[in-house]
Structure 1
């Protein structure tokens, strides 16, 4: 006798877990706006995940103990969510009427978001693309794209919000 796994929420057509959105300081507001729209439409909470790449999860778990990668270069407030980020999220979502919270994640953003999504039973992960700047292009070449890492290794839906898309004016789909 084989055991049939329980249907996942995204497979049954309904969303019951939170929408997890990757956030970072200076991020284009469209990413959070789109995540909030999806969360409001699905009537689920919005969970904003801030991945701190300067710390790593000690036991590999979400929300567990974290330690700085460079313990010598750390002040006593290592690993906190920047107050400016929390304030920017609050300002942007104040009038949206969506329940939201922020969680600190440790390590490489794609893996940290995937761990958190699994731990909380997220219905979807939302991330943005990078801006079209030289520094972003170099970072993508060396570290890769968070969105690419997620949609290749994730069992739940991943919504990638284009930030500053480059669409040619003469782009005819004839």
Structure 2
């Protein structure tokens, strides 16, 4: 007598782009890992920059945005030129189609909205550097990665930027 294996539920597969959260000064390993993942899967890479100083006026990620501080800059600045140049340098020579999109608002919410809007297969973010200012920011606001993996039905890949593993840790 042979057993017939139970049918497996259809896997969703990865067909949408890989969405990676980017910011100025971010460690290059985050974008590099996302790019290699996208290239290996034959998917587009969408780099998303969330500007916390603006909010989405109509609820869309790429739509009109207004500054939180009405006395601040009159219009959202979009993606900083320095970040565009850094990404172009990091992704040059890699066999991956990529784009960059400006988002408005709190990064985890903005990334989640964008992932849903573009039908992303996965969201990639990095951990924070081991610095006192990052620790204070995480203690008060929480981390983008933590917010995402608790509130998403998409896979969230968290790339360690500079892991601290004790020498005696097996």
Please indicate, yes or no, whether the TM-score normalized by the shorter chain is above 0.5: yes
- Cα distance in 1 for partners of 2:64, 2:32 equals 31
- The whole-number CA distance in structure 2 between the counterparts of 1:65 and 1:148 is 28
- Which runs of no fewer than 5 residues in structure 2 stay unpaired? 1-9
Task: Work out which of the two has the higher radius of gyration on C-alpha atoms and give 1 or 2.
Answer: 2
Q: Establish whether residue 127 from structure 1 lines up as the match of residue 114 from structure 2.
A: no
State the shift of 1:71 in Å: 1.9
SS of equivalent to 1:132: coil
Secondary structure of 1:33's counterpart equals helix
Q: For residues 31-88 of structure 1, what are the alpha-carbon distances to aligned partners after superposition, in whole Å with 9 as ceiling and x for unaligned?
A: 0000001100110000000000000011222222211001212155x33210000000
Q: Which runs of 4+ in 1 moved over 3 A?
A: none
Q: Which runs of 5+ in 1 are unaligned?
A: 1-10
Q: Secondary structure at the match of 1:104?
A: strand
Structure 1 counterpart of 2:112: 114
**Structure 1 SS opposite 2:157:** strand
- The reply to whether residue 12 of structure 1 matches residue 11 of structure 2 is yes
Does structure 1 residue 34 correspond to structure 2 residue 24? no
Q: 1:8 maps to which residue?
A: none
Q: Report the number of matched residues.
A: 161
Question: In the alignment, does 2:150 pair up with 1:152?
Answer: yes
- Once residues 74 and 63 of structure 2 are traced to their aligned partners in structure 1, the CA distance between those partners, rounded to angstroms, is 20
Aligned pairs for 1:1-174 within 5 A: 12-75=11-74, 78-172=76-170
2:166 alignment partner, SS class: coil
User: Given the two structures, how large is their TM-score scaled by the length of structure 1?
Assistant: 0.89
Q: Quote the RMSD (CA, aligned, Å).
A: 1.1
